[in-house]
């Protein structure tokens, strides 16, 4: 089905409900629907075959998602933090796009030979335009998202209407939210979580409150002001929110659910957040752009059981991403394709209607039976909880031995003097690669490199001991909290060039 139908259902069943709050703008489901009809008219009359969006999001994201759907063209929210060249390069890969840009980015994309319209102009035109309501083919592409490109050239992931609506109708109960429910959305519009938040909260009947440029104090203020009941954050945001809550002790009485994901969250941070917000249900969500968002969740009950468990195998689940959602199947496979059993690490494969696995210019990477290779190293425990061990591309090969950085990071981050860390492989003449731990010290601490190496050696095999420990004030991350490992590796390799 078309994503447009999700809005149609929301607006026909409860037209006067507040759908979203974004800065000064408040729209009911009916107003959002009317604006999307007009927006579709604007897009249709431009003769564009694609819509690109450069901006910080807020109301513009749901508006463009539904306007494009009703004009039967695909939409691509782009990373507004990219350079002008970076943006143009991606826009050039889209077929005859209409570029919609927030005022501050209009100049950045102007002169690229594309039709450009500002977000404000788009909204103004949508209010008066003749409505267009094409019915998009459910198997056609609704959204194209570029991968973050932390390890290679960004790939254009194609998500069809069916991929997205299967995810929504399979994991969200229509209208199940209570009238007072409100979700605070601070994930960027170009991230799959931004797209899925706009669809799932609308479908659940939950007011969407947008925070377009993240600031932890503002986040805390908005939770209180708008009576926010649920929110989703990436690890770096959680870290900053926890820091604010620790110093200011602000109560967040309305907040019932806090989901985190996007990349791995260090366990000490999860424990600290759980103790600071004892009445909040924590949700760890794992998914990829290619899978239309979440494919596994660690529920609030799972968090509590793991935290209170005496049994080590249950306690360990606090570091898992929970169990696959009912509409997705998972398999762990060895390099030769053999399906592995519980406890055996291998590559995670997933299958389901929400899984796209298709890229523009590359085609589908699904195998003959529809399985998608995630490139994530993972294992399942006896009860089916999924543990993610990082990207297979990040594997360090030291003297012929494969080493997963996550294993060492999980140990190091538990050291009281370590706030954050990333373990990477640096070039080495003797070993091929050596293990380097890049450590951000805990506030006020000055950890000793030898002490940290000993700490790891005490818990893991000798070959897992970092050869070297370097210190840094912070780790380079992208906006969604992914550590830019390539950046660390090139710094390390450059620093040991002979003078």
Residue among 439, 397, 392, 396 nearest 418 (CA): 439
Min dist. Cβ of residue 137 to other proteins (A)? 8
Residue 243-262 contact track with other proteins, rule CB under 8 A, x = bound: --------------x-x-x-
Nearer to other proteins, 187 or 412 (CB): 187
Nearer to other proteins among residue 8 and residue 491 (C-beta): 8
Find where tokens 């003769």 sit. 47
Is position 232 an interface residue for other proteins (rule: CB under 8 A)? yes
358 CB-near residues (< 8 Å, 6+ apart)? 157, 158, 364, 365, 366
Q: Which is nearer to other proteins, 69 or 403 (CB)?
A: 69
11 binds other proteins (CB under 8 A): no
Distance between CA 311 and CA 113 in Å, rounded?
62
- Residue 17, token pair as written in the block: 């409900």
The first and second tokens of residue 332, run together, are: 């762990």
> Does residue 268 touch other proteins according to CB under 8 A?
no
Which residues, 149 to 208, sit near other proteins by CB under 8 A?
162, 169, 171-176, 183, 187, 193, 196-197, 200-201, 203-204, 206
CA 268 to chain centroid, in Å, comes to 21
CB closer to other proteins, 138 vs 149: 138
Q: How many helices (H) and strands (E) does the chain have?
A: 16, 26
Q: Return the residue of 3, 4, 7, 9 that touches other proteins, per CB under 8 A.
A: 9
Using alpha carbons, select from 146, 166, 142, 144 the residue that is nearest to residue 155: 146
Shorter beta-carbon distance to other proteins: residue 119 or 160: 160
1 lines the binding site for other proteins (CB under 8 A)? yes
Nearer to other proteins, 5 or 340 (CB): 5
**By C-alpha distance, which of 14, 16, 18, 19 is closest to 65?**
19
Smallest separation (angstroms) from other proteins to the CB of 18? 17
Q: Is 13 in the site for other proteins (CB under 8 A)?
A: yes
Task: Tell me whether residue 76 or residue 293 sits nearer to other proteins (CB atom).
Answer: 293
Per-residue binding letters, 102-141, with other proteins (x by CB under 8 A): ------------------------------------xx--
> Chain-centre distance of CA 17, in angstroms?
28
- Total residues contacting other proteins by CB under 8 A comes to 41
Q: Which residues of 334-373 are buried (b: 16+ CB within 10 A; e: fewer)?
A: eeeeeebeeeebbbbbbbbbbbbbbbbeeeeebeeeebbb
Instruction: Give CA–CA dist 311/315, Å, rounded.
Output: 6
Site for other proteins in 282-341 (CB under 8 A): 283, 285, 293-294, 297, 299-300, 325-326
Shortest reach from residue 50's CB to other proteins, in Å: 22
Please, which residue, 138 or 476, has the CB nearer to other proteins? 138
- How far is it, in rounded angstroms, from Cα 285 to Cα 360? 26
Q: What span, in angstroms and rounded, lies between the C-alpha atoms of 212 and 221?
A: 14
Query: Are 261 and 285 in contact, with CB atoms under 8 Å apart?
Result: yes
Q: Which residues bind other proteins (CB under 8 A)?
A: 1, 5, 8-9, 12-13, 138-139, 162, 169, 171-176, 183, 187, 193, 196-197, 200-201, 203-204, 206, 230, 232, 257, 259, 261, 281, 283, 285, 293-294, 297, 299-300, 325-326
């Amino acid at each position: 089905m078309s994503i447009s139908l999700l809005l149609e259902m929301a607006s026909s069943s409860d037209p006067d409900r507040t759908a979203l709050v974004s800065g000064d703008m408040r729209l009911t489901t009916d107003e959002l629907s009317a604006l999307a009809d007009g927006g579709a008219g604007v897009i249709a009359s431009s003769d564009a075959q694609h819509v690109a969006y450069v901006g910080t999001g807020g109301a513009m994201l749901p508006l463009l998602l539904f306007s494009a759907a009703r004009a039967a063209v695909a939409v691509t929210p782009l990373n507004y933090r990219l350079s002008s060249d970076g943006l143009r390069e991606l826009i050039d890969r889209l077929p005859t796009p209409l570029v919609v840009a927030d005022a501050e980015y209009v100049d950045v994309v102007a002169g690229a030979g594309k039709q450009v319209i500002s977000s404000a102009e788009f909204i103004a035109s949508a209010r008066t335009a003749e409505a267009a309501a094409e019915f998009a083919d459910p198997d056609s592409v609704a959204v194209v998202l570029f991968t973050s490109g932390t390890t290679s050239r960004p790939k254009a992931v194609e998500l069809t209407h069916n991929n997205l609506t299967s995810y929504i109708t399979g994991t969200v109960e229509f209208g199940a939210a209570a009238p007072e429910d409100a979700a605070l959305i601070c994930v960027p519009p170009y991230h799959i979580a931004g797209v899925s938040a706009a669809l799932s909260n609308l479908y659940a009947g939950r007011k969407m409150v947008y925070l377009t440029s993240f600031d932890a104090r503002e986040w805390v203020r908005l939770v209180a002001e708008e009576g926010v009941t649920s929110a989703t954050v990436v690890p770096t945001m959680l870290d900053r929110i926890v820091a604010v809550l620790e110093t200011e002790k602000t109560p967040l009485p309305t907040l019932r659910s806090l989901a985190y994901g996007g990349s791995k969250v260090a366990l000490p941070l999860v424990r600290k957040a759980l103790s600071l917000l004892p009445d909040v249900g924590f949700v760890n969500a794992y998914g990829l752009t290619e899978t239309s968002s979440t494919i596994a969740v660690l529920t609030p009950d799972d968090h509590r059981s793991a935290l209170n468990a005496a049994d080590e195998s249950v306690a360990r689940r606090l570091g898992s991403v929970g169990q696959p959602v009912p509409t997705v199947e998972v398999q762990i496979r060895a390099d030769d394709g053999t399906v592995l059993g519980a406890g055996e690490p291998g590559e995670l494969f997933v299958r389901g209607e929400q899984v796209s696995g298709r890229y523009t210019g590359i085609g589908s990477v699904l195998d003959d039976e529809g399985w998608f290779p995630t490139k994530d190293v993972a294992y399942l425990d006896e009860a089916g909880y999924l543990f993610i061990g990082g990207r297979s591309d990040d594997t360090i090969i030291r003297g012929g031995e494969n080493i997963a950085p996550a294993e060492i990071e999980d140990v190091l981050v538990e050291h009281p003097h370590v706030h954050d860390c990333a373990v990477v492989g640096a070039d080495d003449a003797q070993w091929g690669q050596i293990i380097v731990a890049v450590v951000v010290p805990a506030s006020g601490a000055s950890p000793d490199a030898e002490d940290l190496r000993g700490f790891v050696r005490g818990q893991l095999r000798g070959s897992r001991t970092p050869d070297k420990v370097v210190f840094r004030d912070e780790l380079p991350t992208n906006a969604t909290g992914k550590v830019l490992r390539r950046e660390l590796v090139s710094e390390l390799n450059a620093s040991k060039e002979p003078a």
